[in-house]
Amino acid sequence: MTVVNVDQLKNYEESNPVRNRKGKSVKKMCNEKVLKKRVPIIGWLPKYNFVFFLQDIIAGVTVALTAIPQGIAYAVIAGLPPEYGLYASLVDGVIYLIFGSSKDITVGPTAVMSSLVAKYTGYSQDFAVLSAFLSGCVILLMGIFHLGFLVNFISKPVINGFTTAAAFQIAAAQLKAFFGLDGASGNYFAESMSNFISNIKTARLWDPILASVTVVMLFMLKRLGNGCSRTDGFTKQMRWFISMGRNAVVVIFGMFVAYILKITTNNEPLKLIRDIGSGLPTVGLPPFSTSSGNTTYNFNEMLEVLGPQSLVLPLVAILESVAIAKAFAIGGRVDATQEMIAVGLCNIGGSFFKSMPITGSFTRTALNYASGVQTPAGGVWKSLVIVAALSLLTSAFYYIPTASLAGLIMTAMYSMVDFGIFARFWRNSKIELMLMLVTMAVSLFIGLEYGIVAGIALECLILLYNTSKPKITANSIRSDSSEIVTVTLSDSLSYCAAEHVRKSIIEASNNAAPDSVLVIDGGNLHRMDSTVAINLMNLIKEFDKDSRTVVLLNFKEDLVKLCTDVEPKLGNKFVKSNKPLDFIEVSIKNA
């Protein structure tokens, strides 16, 4: 039997730092704290009680009353059969229950995601399901590799331009249903408006009337709930509940009107949703091949159809979900990584149930919060109500008028537009206004996915330009005997700013007397790359040849080392001093 010496084993571990680090990393990843962080249900489930149970049921049922009509409406936006909008909310509640980090967030289909996926459903419904699976994989991988910081590079103007354009595009696409027109609705704003003008003569009588009544009812029902909450007396509670469930109320009203018109006129003067697939979807793998008409697409061909522009789908899903999480988080603290993992898994899991791409929904999350939800378990009750609707109510859904859904969608899009931001940007930052307008224009006239890419690209160019032109100030202090010219550098200088720095220093030098002292103040400078250091040292050498007195003031030690590695002989140019510049002048003269 081999005897293991403990001291030898300890020495072996200490002599293998790589192995040590791997062991520590594994322990760090597998400890209880990390497990609770990545599977949040472990943290809150032991504290669950009957009060939480009741409040979660109330919130789940309330949210379901909005999720059902919205799901059907968003399926229509995506060009999918109405039941697909309900399929999208079947398993998200269960998955988010386990992995979600926010009690308030409700995951499901949204208007923007539906609009983005609409261009692919013309080929086949399977493209929507595959895009959900692929988007989920991308989002999950970004969460695992902690790449959520990438969304920080998308500024408010780009996001606002994108969401505003999305609202206009979705609203324009609903003009067909609003007026009961024939023909196609269009895949982007310009096309939708063109189709609307071309087909305006096919407008019907009852559809625009019902759609307009729907819009008015939604605004009135919203006002009905003002000043009311779930914890008020019975009358105010009922007002609050009706106001919160106003989407369901207007759809039920539209169904009632459609049914009455049908039995009284023995006709269908309103365009209806008609048959919705009853029962639950067939569970199976996401479609990695599909057929459309006489064309069969294998997986590679489906990827070609989706194209690189489909990467906008996971990007928008992350933006929506993280933004909503921040809006409802206490103190604004959000675990973006965990949200991405949860939303990624929701999309992957949903794709096995014919789900379209999903993300956090602001309207349903706000309703969930207002309903007093206590844990992510509220999402499970929402899913159960939708299961019941698919099993028992699909025959009633036949009478849902498309005009009611159009009025519902257009009202929701109105709330997406921040009209005041145009004036704020005009007053405070015309560059940001231009950035937002460019994003909007490309989104509206070419496509949403191209709009956000164009906005990000333009934003990067502006960022690069600003980086290449850092603020450098020059001042002159005159005394009886001499002049001191100070050039103050900014806090960070990258390679693209090297020439700008050089020109700024030369310009300050040329504007001063030949016998003046040039002080380059690096007190604010924290980062400088080698390109800037080389340019700076070469410039100092040129000044030396011209017998020009130059002082490099208060540079950080690491930056001094960077510069002196380039030109060791110029180390004497660096000076540390907290004294006023007139004392520096005296010390230079004494030297």
Spatial separation of the C-alpha atoms in residues 337 and 346, rounded to whole Å: 14
Spatial separation of the C-alpha atoms in residues 170 and 181, rounded to whole Å: 16
- Which residue stretches of 31-155 are H helix? 32-38, 41-44, 50-77, 83-87, 92-99, 111-121, 126-144
Cα angle at 128 between 126 and 129, to 5 degrees? 65
- What pLDDT does residue 1 have? 43
Domains of the chain as residue ranges with CATH: 6-45 (no CATH), 49-423 (no CATH), 473-590 (3.30.750.24)
Q: Going by C-beta distance under 8 Å and a sequence separation of 6 or more, which residues neighbour residue 420?
A: none
> Which strands form 483-488's sheet, in the order they lie side by side?
473-478, 483-488, 517-521, 550-553, 574-575
Q: What are phi and psi of 196, to 5 degrees?
A: -60, -45
| Cα four-point dihedral sign 304, 306, 309, 311 | negative
Structure tokens at 344: 């990624």
Structure tokens at 286: 């996401």
Which amino acid belongs to residue 224? L
Spatial separation of the C-alpha atoms in residues 173 and 194, rounded to whole Å: 11
Which amino acid belongs to residue 534? I
Record the pTM. Answer: 0.76
Q: What is the pLDDT along the chain (591 residues), one digit of tens a residue?
A: 445 455 554 555 555 555 555 555 455 555 677 787 788 888 888 888 888 898 888 888 888 888 888 888 889 888 899 889 899 988 888 899 999 888 888 899 988 889 889 888 888 899 999 999 999 999 999 999 888 777 777 788 888 888 888 888 888 888 988 998 888 777 778 888 888 999 999 988 899 999 999 999 999 998 998 888 877 888 888 888 888 888 888 989 999 999 999 888 888 888 888 777 777 888 999 999 998 878 889 999 999 999 888 888 998 888 888 877 776 766 556 778 888 999 999 999 999 999 999 998 877 888 788 778 888 988 899 999 898 888 888 888 888 898 998 898 888 888 878 888 889 999 998 899 999 999 999 988 888 888 888 988 998 898 888 888 998 988 887 766 678 888 999 999 999 999 999 999 999 888 888 788 888 999 899 999 999 999 999 999 998 888 888 889 889 999 999 999 988 988 888 988 776 555 455 455 544
| Cα four-point dihedral sign 394, 398, 404, 405 | positive
- Which residue stretches of 181-224 are H helix? 189-199, 206-224
